[in-house]
Amino acid sequence: MVAFLRLEFIDIVLSTNVSRLHHLLISTEYFIDPQKYFYLISFHVSASIIIGSTAMVATGSLFLAYFLHFCGMFKIASYRIKKTIHIYTLKDISTQKEILVYKDLIRAVDIHRKSMTFSKYFISRFQILFMFFVAIGVLTMSLNIFRVRLVFYKSISLQFVVLLYISNFNVFF
């Protein structure tokens, strides 16, 4: 999109006295004259791409933050359990120290239980969304690989393309 708009900008700066039609990279249907309102339409397309990309990056960052949060909780619980086991394995342990070890162990198990509850809740809420992410990712990857194959081997007929697309789509549903 940037390279495309750069060409439009160069046409404005160099002021060539040649009339050219403006072409958008993304085909859209508006109920206005596309040549007259070209820059408004290109601004709309660019803003849509930027807003969509920002939403995807924000969602991915939030998922990553949640994942790091419960990984950190598991590390804290693991550290506390190791520390209490190390104290408990010492030779001279008094009754008072044993009570403290049990309390520390209870706290560590409680942190582990809370992190398990949080991770199960997170997975249960987003498993359908993750399934769609994986299905769409596999579908787009296979279609892109198929397009690369079409570039290298142009002898594939249209019926085969349609059959391959339908069979690839039916695998996921």
Q: How do residues 74-126 score in pLDDT, each as one tens digit?
A: 999 899 888 888 877 776 777 887 888 888 889 889 998 998 998 899 888 88
Q: Please name the residue ranges forming H helices in the chain.
A: 2-14, 38-88, 95-152, 158-172
41 contacts: CB under 8 Å, gap ≥ 6: 24, 28, 30, 32, 34
Tokens at 122, concatenated:
């997170």
Q: Cα separation of 109 and 77, whole Å?
A: 7
Arithmetic mean of pLDDT, 132-158: 75
Q: Is 87 within 8 Å of 101 (Cβ atoms)?
A: yes
pLDDT at 11: 63
Residue 23's pLDDT band, with cuts at 50, 70 and 90, is low
- pLDDT tops 70 at residue 25: no
- Give the number of other CB atoms < 10 A from CB of residue 21: 7
Note the pLDDT of residue 51. 93
pLDDT at 88: 73
Which pLDDT score is estimated for 113? 93
Percent pLDDT > 90 in the chain is: 10
CA geometry: angle at 45 spanning 44 and 51, to 5°? 85
Query: Which residues have a Cβ under 8 Å from the Cβ of 10 and sit 6 or more positions away?
Result: none
Angle at CA 132, nearest 5°, toward 145 and 57? 85
**Mean pLDDT for the chain?**
77
0.75 surpassed by pTM: no
Q: Which residue has the higher pLDDT, 80 or 133?
A: 80
* Percent of the chain scoring above 70 in pLDDT: 69
Domains of the chain, by residue range, sit at 47-172
